[in-house]
Every structure is written in C-alpha cells, then in structure tokens.
Chains A and B, each alone.
Chain A
Amino acid sequence: GAGVSQTPSNKVTEKGKYVELRCDPISGHTALYWYRQSLGQGPEFLIYFQGTGAADDSGLPNDRFFAVRPEGSVSTLKIQRTERGDSAVYLCASSERDPWSDYEQFFGPGTRLTVL
C-alpha cells in the first residue's frame, strides 16, 4: 500500500514568510509524528499526534511553529515568520498503534525547507 507522503518535496521561501508543510500518513495509522532534520544531524522530535489531538508538542522550538490534524489523518505543520535557522528537512512519520505498545514508525521522504 501507499506509504507516508509529504508535500511539497521542496519549499523555498523568504525570511519572514509563512509556510505550510503537509503530511499524509498511512491510512488507518492513528499516531503521527513530525521531526526536523538539520544538515548533518539526526531527526529531532517536534510534535506527536494521537488521533486529532496533539498529545505532545514539547519539541516545538517556539510559538512560530504549530501543527494541526483536524480529522485525525492529514497533518499540516505551520511555520510563521520563517527564519533562516528554520531551514531543514521536515520529516513526518506515522504508526499503527499506541506508543505505549511495541510499534514501528513509517517515515515519509520529507520536505526540504530553505529560508533565504
């Protein structure tokens, strides 16, 4: 079946602009994660959704970052007043089961965000 998809694959924007990054998880997966991967680094946790609610947003770096998942499927990561330091690959992952059980995350290909 289809895996996790993310759009756009690349996004170039100017400092101060607003961007939205979209994630389509695997159908039926209730858990959804966003990560940020800076150059030469491993993925860094941003936020976790269980269903429609943000169960854990402790990784969001500041209040310019926000994510939604209104119907428990597609999620959008929103970044306001972008800064050059926001440039990174933003990864989305989904999983089938509750995180308290043994499960596996399936990652999308990522969106490469470049802030000029």
Chain B
Amino acid sequence: AQSVAQPEDQVNVAEGNPLTVKCTYSVSGNPYLFWYVQYPNRGLQFLLKYITGDNLVKGSYGFEAEFNKSQTSFHLKKPSALVSDSALYFCAVRDVDNFNKFYFGSGTKLNVKP
C-alpha cells in the first residue's frame, strides 16, 4: 500500500527565514509525489510534483521540493518565507497500482511570523 506521512502538525518560521515542511513516503515502486497548499475556505492548490528526473523540483510561489530516494523523503522548501505562505500544506502520493487514487498526508500548518 502507498502512503505519505507528515511528521509535524505545525511549523513555525520567521519571515525571511528558510522553511522546510517534511514528508516521507512509502510506495511499492517509483513514487509520483505532490505538494498542495490549502488556504482557509479555499480548495487545495497544486504546488509541485515529482514524477521522474531531477531530484530538486521547482514549483509555484517560489517553493521547491527535494526528492530523496534513500531517505524516502520529499520535503518542501522555500529559501525565504513570507507571511502570506501561512497555510496548510499537504503531501500526496499517487497509487502506483491504481493511478486514479491519491493518498494525502494529514497536513502541516505553516505559520510564518513577521
């Protein structure tokens, strides 16, 4: 079975500092990994995905994620956090046996303080 885990319920960072939101995965094959962001009362918005290729994936709003096969991780990063980045972030993996299905992590609340 495929799954992702987000070990931190909440991450606090000061504006201008780098941020990392952690995600580890468990898949039986090559993973298709995604990051989404959810603002209050709004739908999830796609940030970036890893399918294959370069381990460092660049996405929307200056975010990037690093795929690390040996550590089975796909951490979300941004060099300089903005207060407007404060939101709920979800890591997700696509089921390799059933591409219709995505498995989401439980989410990490990012708080960026001025």
Chain A positions near chain B (C-beta within 8 angstroms)? 3-4, 33, 35, 40-45, 48, 55-56, 58-59, 91, 93, 99-100, 102, 104-110
Cβ of A75 to closest chain B Cβ, rounded Å: 15
How many interface residues does B have (CB within 8 Å)? 21
A-B contacts, CB under 8 A, total: 57
Chain B positions near chain A (C-beta within 8 angstroms)? 36, 41-46, 49, 51, 90, 92, 98-107
Question: Assuming A42-B92, A99-B99, is B104 touching A105 (CB within 8 A)?
Answer: no
Contact A91 B43 (CB under 8 A): yes
**With a CB–CB cut-off of 8 A, which chain A residues contact B102?**
43, 45, 105
Centre residue among B36, B44, B92 by max chain A CB count within 10 A = B44
Question: Assuming A56-B98, A102-B51, is B43 touching A45 (CB within 8 A)?
Answer: no
Contact A40 B104 (CB under 8 A): no
20 more A-B residue pairs beyond the given contacts A45-B101, A56-B98, A56-B101, with a C-beta to C-beta distance below 8 A: A3-B43, A33-B100, A35-B104, A41-B106, A41-B107, A42-B92, A42-B105, A43-B90, A45-B100, A91-B43, A91-B44, A93-B44, A99-B100, A104-B46, A105-B44, A105-B46, A105-B102, A107-B36, A108-B43, A109-B41
**With a CB–CB cut-off of 8 A, which chain B residues contact A58?**
98, 101
**With a CB–CB cut-off of 8 A, which chain A residues contact B44?**
43, 91, 93, 105, 107
**With a CB–CB cut-off of 8 A, which chain A residues contact B46?**
104-106
Nearest 6 A/B pairs, CB to CB: A42-B104, A107-B43, A107-B44, A56-B100, A48-B100, A99-B99
Contact A45 B106 (CB under 8 A): no
Cβ of B48 to closest chain A Cβ, rounded Å: 10
Residue of A nearest to B94 (CB): A99
